[in-house]
Homo-oligomer: A and B are copies of this chain.
Amino acid sequence: MLLHLSTWPEVETYLSRRQSIILPIGSTEQHGPTGLIGTDAITAEAIAAEVGRRSETLVGPTIPVGMAHHHMAFPGSMTVRPSTLIALIRDYVVALSAHGFRSVLFINGHGGNINSVQAAFSEVYEEMRAARGSDAPSLRCALSNWFMLPGVQAVQKELFGDREGWHATPSEVSVTWAVHPDQVRDAPLDPLPETSSTFFDSRDFRARFPDGRMGSDPALATAEHGRRFIDAAAAEILGRHGAFLDGA
């Protein structure tokens, strides 16, 4: 059940039996010479939809632009500041809690969002505590980063070994091709240099990773692999957060 394809009476009915919602969050940023700029939003949205389908949980709108400062040296990357992302998520959660939502699960496709999303949870909790003390509504926020789940990482390892890397990875590119089979890119890629996952600001990032990939070989991606990742991620998220989504 997708929020944007629901009516308010349908949501009212949903809330009478269930108070959980899933919110996908991605990013709009370079993903190497062949990866889509929308990769992280596409993957998060696809996996969130699958989790929603399997668990009959409402899925809200995807946050398409995340905290991607470090990609700003590549054309087309967009970013919001951490402080803006915290304010945005705070507003989302405050709005949803007003309707009685009690469990909010963010499914995230971008490493750069993690700190801001987690910080936003604390910001909301603390604001509610400070303003209402013991009258604050019961509210539980959780974050699942699909690409970091152990089961997903096992599949990454199995399929791509050490060519998975950290950015513009074959696993995320696979998921985008599963979702958008018409968007396969087939450009020649430079050989991968030795690298690490360390970087500082956006200028430093581009100096270390000149074409945007961080040790990843997206040429290994296939739509079929993508479907396997969606399945694995959805299953693992449900295994970890199923009770949470059931309000337990």
Contact = CB atoms under 8 A, between A and B. Distances in A.
B8 A123 contact: no
A126 B63 CA distance: 19
B75 A84 contact: no
B123 A81 contact: yes
Given A60-B28, A61-B38, A134-B203, A76 B139 contact: no
Nearest to A8: B30
Contact of A122 (B34, B92, B112, B118): B112
Interface string A1-43: 0111111111110010000000000001011111111100110
A76 B59 CA distance: 11
Contacts of A120: 82
A30 to B, nearest CB: 4
Given A3-B38, A7-B30, A129-B203, 9 more contacts: A6-B37, A7-B32, A12-B75, A83-B87, A115-B122, A129-B202, A139-B200, A140-B204, A141-B200
B78 A60 contact: yes
Nearest to A176: B5
A88 B84 contact: yes
A99 B201 CA distance: 16
Nearest to A92: B78
Contacts of A4: 28, 36-38, 41-42, 64
A88 B91 CA distance: 12
A75 B99 contact: yes
